[in-house]
Amino acid sequence: MKHTLSILVNNHPGVMSHVSGLFTRRSYNIDSIAVGVTADPEVSSVTIVVKGDDAVLGQVKKQLMKLPDVLSVQDLAYHESINRELVLLQVSLTDTTRVEVISLCQVFNAKIAEIGLDSILVEYSGNNRQVNSFIDNMKKYGILDMARTGQIALKYRGKS
């Protein structure tokens, strides 16, 4: 089972190393990790996506809370949070594929960052499934280069 952990930490050097080191010591492979400062410049948000069962992950959460710079740990349930990831793709273009690639970008609401004679650089963000689908659709045109961010997430506090 995949878990998305939202961890608030003091914004100090070395904190990221301590947090990720805890997962290493527990032999957990981190699927995705993203860190950024919050509205408070003294606090950073670490979003980690990891696979594991609830019992062992509960122990990891307890161990994280023992780290001096960790302020809070929250396991974000998919239906209670908004998750996003960003991908930048450089895709090959030919005279015959140019219109198809641009149309596909429009269907996905992807942003064209740069376009040249033989390639296009596209920016797309969405949940993990959407990003994977976009990449799969672009593969047939020839992906020349790709960069993906880690997943970020926030608990949704609105009423549904």
Question: How many CB atoms are closer than 10 A to CB 53?
Answer: 9
pLDDT of residue 54: 85
Tokens of 24: 């290493």
The pLDDT tens digits along the chain (160 residues) read: 889 999 999 999 999 999 998 888 878 888 999 999 999 999 999 999 988 888 878 888 999 999 999 999 999 988 889 999 999 999 999 999 999 999 999 999 999 999 999 999 999 999 999 999 999 999 999 999 999 998 999 988 766 5
Instruction: Give me the pLDDT at residue 23, please.
Output: 86
Query: Which domains does the chain show, CATH number per domain?
Result: 2-76 (3.30.70.260), 84-149 (3.30.70.1150)
Task: Determine the residue type at 28.
Answer: Y
3-state DSSP: the chain helix, strand, coil percent, rounded to 5? Answer: 30, 40, 25
Q: Apex CA 36: angle with CA 80 and CA 63, to 5°?
A: 70
Note the pLDDT of residue 27: 80
pLDDT in tens, 40-80: 999 999 999 988 888 878 888 999 999 999 999 999 988 88
